[in-house]
Chain A
């Protein structure tokens, strides 16, 4: 099925561990973004990309790294997990700015 696929759906990490949240889209979209969603905070942009090899920081980039080596994939790396990174993470893609983003189903991350 066409869309944005995020894995894993759930993850528990210990403080200090690292991990990569995977995001893949099969719609040949140029734009991809990572958001975190916390109660009362809405969706906050972590990192985004406007094409393969081009990434930029969003509102809350600290503690996260991204790379975009292909159009399809946009992984998010947590370098050293902290409890403050407990959140629901969404990946999204769009063909261009004039079209809305298609969101994945999210990854619920708990850092203990």
Chain B
């Protein structure tokens, strides 16, 4: 059962364009939503994260938009650059009791290619 569904699987954008990656979740106990960036041969690195008490969070060219009622969140990369070419993962973790709050579930990933 895939608890976090991510789309598209791959995305090609021209330099300067906007890259948009979407994620949807089912578990209403999720309350922490990070995005990770991974370059080939490296481990994922935290890019930006949001909690459901805000609808948008911006850090530089990266913005998370969050729609709690639709159980969806998205990553927008403004002015996309060739150096942004990487695999992007959304993720979610719950506020449930016990040890579940340590459990981070990832989406399937999106391979972003930014052409110069």
Whether chain B is bound by chain A comes out as yes
A residues with a Cβ closer than 8 A to B are 4, 31, 33, 35, 40-45, 48-50, 54, 56, 58-59, 90, 92, 97-98, 100-106
Query: A49 — which chain B residues lie within 8 A by C-beta?
Result: 102
Query: Is residue B105 within 8 Å, beta carbon to beta carbon, of the partner chain?
Result: yes
Query: How close is A85's CB to chain B, nearest CB, in angstroms?
Result: 19
Interface centre among B89, B105, B107 (most CB of A within 10 A): B105
Q: Is the CB of B105 within 8 A of A103?
A: no
Which of B14-22, B43-51, B67-75 lies at the interface with chain A? B43-51
Collect the chain A residues with CB atoms within 8 Å of residue B46's CB. 100-102
CB contact between B99 and one of A40, A54, A92, A101 (< 8 Å): that residue: A54
Q: Mark B31-66, 1 if CB is under 8 A from A, else 0.
A: 010101000011111100100000000000000000
- Bound-state Cα–Cα, A89 to B101, Å: 22
User: Which chain A residues lie closer than 8 Å to B49 at the CB level?
Assistant: 100
Bound Cα distance from A48 to B46, whole angstroms: 18
B103 within 8 A of A: yes
Cβ < 8 Å to A, chain B residues 1-20: 6, 9
Q: Told that A40-B108, A59-B105, A98-B32 touch, could you supply 7 new A-B pairs with CB distance under 8 A?
A: A35-B106, A45-B103, A45-B106, A48-B99, A50-B99, A90-B43, A100-B46
- Main secondary structure on chain A at its contact with chain B? strand
Interface assignment of B104: CB less than 8 Å from any CB of chain A: yes
Q: How far is the CA of A41 from the CA of B87 in the complex (A)?
A: 12
Known: A98-B32, A101-B46, A105-B42. A42 touches B108 (CB 8 A): yes
Which chain B positions have C-beta within 8 A of A59?
105
Residues of chain B within 8 A of A97, CB atoms compared: 32, 93, 101-102
The CA of A56 and the CA of B102, in the complex, are separated in Å by 9
Q: Report if A43-B106 is in contact (Cβ < 8 Å); known contacts: A50-B101, A97-B101, A103-B44.
A: yes
Q: Is the CB of A101 within 8 A of B108?
A: no
Look across to chain B and name the residue whose beta carbon is closest to the beta carbon of A90.
B43
